């Protein structure tokens, strides 16, 4: 599961409603990096726990485009990974 957050939205997410009518409740922050944070989330529709990576797109237009390309590259790579420890990406 992936999320994208703009510079204007800085508060931690406590609930995330997706287009597929799933409600995810954030449990805690697992880690953070240069342009993303990973949260442990609980899917209220299935009772399963997942990790949600939330990307931050900040800065000027040139940096935003560079960040978007990195995100797209990571998503492409992760979609091709077939491993028991990898959860399929659900956008």
The percent of residues in the chain predicted with pLDDT above 70, rounded, is: 70
Which tops the pLDDT comparison, 76 or 63? 76
| pTM summary value | 0.64
The torsion angles phi and psi of 49, rounded to 5 degrees, stand at -105, 135
Q: Provide the sign of the torsion angle of the four alpha carbons 85, 14, 19, 61, taken in this order.
A: negative
User: Taking the domains of the chain in order of start, what are their residue ranges?
Assistant: 2-79
Please name the fold of domain 2-79. Phosphorylase Kinase; domain 1 (3.30.200)
């Amino acid at each position: 599961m992936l999320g994208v957050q703009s510079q204007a939205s800085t508060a931690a997410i406590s609930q995330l409603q997706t287009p597929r009518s799933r409600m995810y409740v954030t449990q805690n922050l697992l880690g953070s990096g240069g342009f993303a944070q990973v949260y442990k989330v609980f899917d209220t529709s299935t009772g399963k726990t997942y990790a949600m990576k939330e990307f931050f797109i900040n800065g000027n237009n040139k940096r935003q485009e560079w960040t978007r390309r990195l995100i797209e590259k990571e998503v492409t790579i992760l979609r091709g990974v077939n491993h028991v420890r990898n959860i399929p990406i659900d956008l």
